[in-house]
Amino acid sequence: MTRFHHKEHDDKQSRELFVEASIEAAESVDNGFNFSELDALYLGYFSSDMFEKQAHTSALMADWLGINPKPTARIETACASSGVAINMGVMGIASGLYDVILVGGVEKMRTLNTGEVTDTLAMAADANYEVGSGFTFPGLYAAMASAHFKEYGSSWEELAHIAIKNHDNGSLNSKAQYQDTIMDIAKKLGERKGMSFSDELDFLNSSLNPMIASPLKLFDCCPISDGAAVVILSSMEKAKEFTNSPVQILGLGQASDTMALHDREDLTSLKATKIASRKAYDMAGINPEKISFACVHDCFTNAEMIATEDLGFFKKGKGGKAAVEGRTSLNGDIPINTDGGLKAKGHPVGATGAAMVYEVFKQLRGEAGKHQLDNPEIGLTHNVGAAGATVSVQLYGRT
């Protein structure tokens, strides 16, 4: 994958980012890999039409990789686009139609200003009943956070600990957009403003962390990013030709829910996460206690809190407390977002699901560098489209 960033790729188009990530993926194959060995290409890209005024992007990527006339398809399920693309790739291989598929995602968002990006992302919400009433995604997730606070007594301070933890993890990840801890950021911004802070919470409670949509503040929100991530899927028989240590997909699940929040049964949970994860657990024949670590969709800090509960890691209402206690840290009992998550690593929408798989692959092979866990066995990815209308969950293990 490329580094995710808001400035570093200003002079690159999405096709160049995707090719860069694809070349890295090919070069990572232990016994060598040539793009001519591919049977198909699946691309996750949310809104190339708006960001680059370019449609038909899967064929474009195949052209730039030089793999014509291999079949291609673009999958669009908002922020879950490449996670769902991976599910489609697995089905293509399981059907026997293909042996090797390149699956990835890309988003080139910084072609637009922040307001235009916000409006483009809002297209993934219900245009009639939410966007037309003024909702954007910070507002939607803020409503979910408020409901959770009221129902379970969770708090913004718990969310702050999630942000602190993810920035700590991101500081160890060379692919992350933000490689500074919250305290590093506090010192830099404080020097500019003539302010000093005793600790992270002191900074996060200051005017330098303004309210975006109550109760969510600036550092509760993931950034706007450019970037690409790619994985190579193959049958197990074929994988053994490429490497002696392949990573295996143990189970997967996918589910949908209502687009509009007002039609949901419960705002403190994502029903699609519960259903998709149960399908994945059942396919793999395991329970949540067997998961070594997870990459979850933390577009906002409360999204991580809710995800850790819905995935079965913690009881309802206890996800935030678990973060405060350090249970989701790198040395905790269930490390969450070891790479910094969307919060620190960045969120180029179409690339996010594939980037989660990249992190799981690196962790399971002991190649994650400074943020490597101690001998993880099973990793989980959780990729959410919009405010939970689409969810993809996958389980990965060493062979």
> Which residues are known catalytic residues?
79, 347
Are 155 and 149 spatial neighbours (Cβ–Cβ below 8 Å)?
yes
**Cβ partners under 8 Å of residue 252, min gap 6:** 86, 87, 90, 279, 280, 283, 392, 393, 394, 395
Query: Residue 133: CA atoms inside 13 Å, Cβ hemisphere, count?
Result: 12
Residue 346: phi, psi to the nearest 5? 115, 170
**Cβ proximity of 286 and 312 under 8 Å:** no
Helix (H) or strand (E) holding 281: helix 271-284
Pairing of strands 100-108, 226-234: antiparallel
C-alpha to C-alpha distance for 64 and 56, rounded to whole angstroms: 13
CB contact at 8 A, 343 and 98: no
**Residue 7: exposed, middle, or buried by beta-carbon count in 10 A (0-12, 13-18, 19+)?**
exposed
Q: Which two tokens stand for residue 199?
A: 């600790």
Local structure of 19: helix, strand or coil: helix
Neighbouring residues of 320: CB distance < 8 A, sequence distance ≥ 6: 154, 155, 158, 159, 161, 162, 305
- Phi then psi for residue 96, to 5 deg, are 90, 0
